[in-house]
Structure 1
Amino acid sequence: MADTPQRPIIVKRKKVISGGSHGGAWKIAYADFVTAMMAFFLLMWLLGSVDGSTRGGIAEYFKTPLKVSLSGNSTLGESAIILHGGGKDLTKTSGQANNKVPAQPSKDFDLKNAKELMEREEMIKMRAMKNKLDALIDSDHKLQPYRKQLLIDVSSEGLRIQIVDESNRPMFGLSSAELESRARDILRELAPTLNSMPNKISLSGHTDAKPFAQGSKTYSNWELSSDRAHDARRVLVEGGMDESRLMRVIGLSSSVLLDEQDPLNPINRRISIILLNRRAEESAINEGRRQIAPPLN
């Protein structure tokens, strides 16, 4: 047997580097996690430092960024650029003071809108009450003969009902403060309807521009118009109207003419009943309150 040549023995040695169970990859992942958490808490702090309107603007921007950019109506406001929460004011240079007042949400504008909305709603109610009164007069056989003497409209103070004189159907006797029987019938028929409406009432008496027939320095058209207004008040209360509904009873003589072109027109002699709107009612209340001027500094 021939001698078999002996093969050389090759020994392979593998170099092993110890790196823990997972090496160093977990450190990178942990660093990313910590960075993300810091960014999250920073975002929460920023959102907590701005008001609700600014947060709404930020949300709107991220929903439709292109629309907001093109329209130019960004609602982000000043606080989206500079946060006034604390820290150093970056808009202040050395030796200067920033007197700029931070933007604040305007409450006056919202209050004005609310008042305008309330006045519009009240105007709608006043017109509805006018239609109700018109329907009542047209359906009541006792009031139909006096339809021309009843003027109903909506004024700046509220729903106004005016009972006017006619040349052949005067409400009062000449120079008298006592109502005629037909005028009493009108007021008694109106009393329950007025009592069913929630508004406060202003009652005023008016005369024409003709001087009082028996005028003197102590009694004139001013006293006559006031006495006629109070007589109308008594008849309304007798007809069922709640007297606590009355806000004021006044005589205006001929200072407020219905027909300014003809001051002697019988239509100027009238009783005016106004269902006051909210603004007129507040004005009447403030007239009776004592106004104290603030002290001078």
Structure 2
Amino acid sequence: MAASGKPLQPIIIKRVKKGGHGAHGGAWKIAYADFVTAMMAFFLLMWLLGSTTEADRKGISDYFNAPLMVTLFGGPGSGASDSILPGGGDDLTRTTGEMARGDAQLAARELGAQVIREEAMRLERQRIEGLRNKIETVINNNIRLSEFRDQIRMEMVQDGLNIQIVDDQNRAMFDVGSALVRPYMREILREIGAALAEVDNRISISGHTDATPYGSGARGYSNWELSADRANASRRELVAAGLPDEKLARVVGMGSSQPLLADRPFDPVNRRISILVLTQEAEERMAQGYRLSSADLQGGGHASSPGSVPEAGALPLPAPMTPQGPSQ
């Protein structure tokens, strides 16, 4: 107690301890996280723009512009089906939906069908090539037929295998001015017919003559009738060799309209029988009424279908006519 008798007041000193500032290492992490998030959103947007169709982008735009309208009425690419609401039935008034997915599936199916079709065509041409090799082997191994090798020409064309038996100045296939088959020609046709019977492809037979006119004129028995009769006589020999009649697609006479040597229309080589082993595609075109692509082998003319031509021995062959000029 003080001398004056008053008690002493305690003196309280408040000292504020100022600590150091907290570490400044946390704020940059938040900013960096915001930057990374923005970049992810940007690249996600770029990916969506690149992988979606115009209909999908239109649906997304409509959703953000008018989400209620899209929810109620739908829009292009706005759902997995043509249903307005999930679980609802199809809206018959809508023709849009996931069009891109449907188009992609359709394109995939068409591509698959095209691949299968091309593979079938490749295998078919491979079989026809095998037929060509077989006929060549038969001709080469037959001593008598090998003598006529120069008169038998075979080549692969767009419509299949074309087998042409051409005439020779000193070795005619038929009697002069008639459709009577010579013995060596009959032997050739029988061998070819036996080989053709082993393949599934149908064939087309066309007869051709040179440009030598008949004395009876165009109104009488002409090259048109002669070429058709010779084609039909060749058909008889092929059928006699075992070729089923249903494999014949058509028998046609071309007259002198398609010469093998256009610059020499009177050459004996123009007198020929063409046997075309048809591919499936060529047969379908023929069935639809289209002309075969190998126009130098087929075309309009005096024709007869397999169902309408007479069987062997049913009708007599026409009497030989006397052509003007060189022998037909």
TM-score normalized by the length of structure 2: 0.57
**SS at 1:262's partner residue?**
coil
- Give the Cα–Cα distance (whole angstroms) in 1 for the partners of residues 114 and 50 of structure 2: 22
Runs of 4+ in 1 over 6 A off after TM superposition: 82-86, 98-101
| Residue number in structure 1 paired with 2:199 | 197
1:161–1:273 contact (8 Å) kept in structure 2 = yes
Contact 2:214 2:223 in 1 (8 A): yes
Q: What is the deviation of 1:155?
A: 1.3
CA distance in 2, matches of 1:261, 1:226: 23
Q: Counterpart in 2 of 1:208?
A: 210
SS in 1 for 2:210: coil
Q: Distance in 1 between matches of 2:71 and 2:252?
A: 61
User: Paired residue for 1:224?
Assistant: 226
Q: Residue 185 of structure 1 corresponds to which residue in structure 2? A: 187
Tell me how far apart the structure 1 counterparts of residues 179 and 193 of structure 2 sit (CA, whole Å). 20
Task: Identify the residue that residue 139 of structure 1 maps to in structure 2.
Answer: 141
Q: Is the 8 A contact 2:166 2:271 kept in 1?
A: yes
Change (3 A) 1:82 1:123: farther
CA distance in structure 1 between the aligned counterparts of 2:72 and 2:135, rounded to whole angstroms: 66
Counterparts of residues 34-49 of structure 1 (less than 5 Å): none
Amino acid at match of 1:202: S
Match of 1:157 in 2: 159
- Aligned to 1:257, the other structure's residue is in SS state coil
Structure 2: gaps of 5 or more residues: 1-42, 61-69, 78-93, 291-328
After TM superposition, the structure 1 = structure 2 runs for residues 1-297 of structure 1, keeping only pairs within 5 Å, are 88-89=73-74, 102-103=99-100, 104-105=103-104, 106-107=106-107, 109-110=110-111, 111-287=113-289
Deviation at 1:117, TM superposition (A): 3.4
- 2: CA distance between counterparts of 1:73 and 1:193? 59
Determine the structure 2 residue equivalent to 1:11. none
Residues in 1 aligned to 2:50 and 2:131: alpha-carbon distance in whole angstroms: 43
Of the structure 1 ranges 160-169 and 240-249, higher mean CA displacement relative to structure 2 is found in 240-249
Shift of 1:142: 2.9
In 2, Cα distance between equivalents of 1:113 and 1:78: 29
Give unmatched runs, 5+ long, in structure 1.
1-64, 93-97, 289-297
Over residues 208-229 of structure 1, what are the superposed CA-to-partner deviations in whole Å (9 max), with x where a residue is unaligned?
A: 1222344340321111100111
| Structure 1 residue matching 2:144: 3-state secondary structure | coil
Segment of structure 1 superposing worse, 149-158 or 252-261: 252-261
- Say which SS state the counterpart of residue 248 (structure 1) adopts: strand
1:247, CA displacement in angstroms?
A: 1.2
Partner of 1:36: none
Match of 2:273, SS? strand
The offset of 1:119, in angstroms, is 2.4
* Corresponding residue pairs, total: 214
Say which SS state the counterpart of residue 172 (structure 1) adopts.
coil
Give the distance between the partners of 2:183 and 2:166, measured in 1 at CA: 14
* Residues 86 and 199 (structure 1), Cα distance of their counterparts in 2 relative to 1, 3 Å cut: farther
Distance 1:159 1:83, change over 3 A: farther
Closer, same or farther in 2 for the Cα pair 1:275/1:87, shift >3 Å? farther
Aligned residues: CA RMSD = 3.4
Deviation (angstroms), 1:246: 0.9
Q: For each residue in 1:57-91, what CA deviation from the matched residue of structure 2 results, as whole angstroms up to 9, or x when unmatched?
A: xxxxxxxx9xxx7xx996x6567656799854567
Provide the identity percentage. Answer: 36
